Amino acid sequence: MAGKNVVIVTDQNFESEILKSDKPALVDFTATWCGPCKQISPMIEEIANETVGVIKVAKLDIDDAPNTAVKLGIRGVPTIVAFKGGKEVARHVGAGTNKAKLRALVG
């Protein structure tokens, strides 16, 4: 479950919410069955709460939005991808990270 400042993205709204966003975006590619995804979820929520209006923070469940995951080459979860101006600018795979490193992905 995502917090109030985390946008849920799907195959249908990924382009409008992330690629066409006027703000940098940080997308957490996740799955409900993924233990490591649950470990980093609080960090994603904190980043969303700390960067309201500055960075768009989103979650995409790869089981619910498989087309977007395939198109972006997401091969494992959690994968955190940063976007600016509709382009991927950074990517982190796995739960071995901290909030500062995830926040730094968007610059």
Active site (catalytic) residues: 34, 37
Cα separation, 99 vs 66, whole angstroms: 26
**99 touches 43 (CB < 8 A):** yes
Q: In a 10 Å sphere around its CB, with 0-12 CB exposed, 13-18 middle and 19+ buried, how is residue 64 labelled?
A: middle
